[in-house]
Amino acid sequence: MLEWLRLIVGTAFLIAGFIIFVVEVYGVFHLKYVLNRMQAAAMGDTLGISLSLVGLMIFSGLNMTTLKIALIIAFLWFSSPVASHLLAKLEYSTNEDIKEHAKIYEDIEKL
């Protein structure tokens, strides 16, 4: 009975991760502005990969593989927002027409 429960819960996490990936791909290809696309990609990657890896952790059980997958999730949670922030800063500093697409605060350097 416990194996069936583990199979159902693990499959639910994998399916949820797949659904998040589908929504992410839709957002990346249908949003018009680059920062909106980047937001969809960053949030979708972090949540979709996390849900999928949690599903794999459930399938694996309690062993060293589960610990390694948990460390991968922690690394992704730290690295994905940093990479997205750097890409957003690059877009802000290189796009001359940014005021047409986004609301710009005058004291952006203080934020």
Q: What tens digit of pLDDT does each residue of 44-102 get?
A: 888 999 999 999 999 998 999 999 999 999 999 999 888 888 888 888 788 777 777 76
- Spell out the domain ranges in the chain: 2-110
CA proximity to 33, closest of 91, 82, 84:
91
Q: Which amino acid is at 24?
A: E
- The model carries a pTM of 0.79
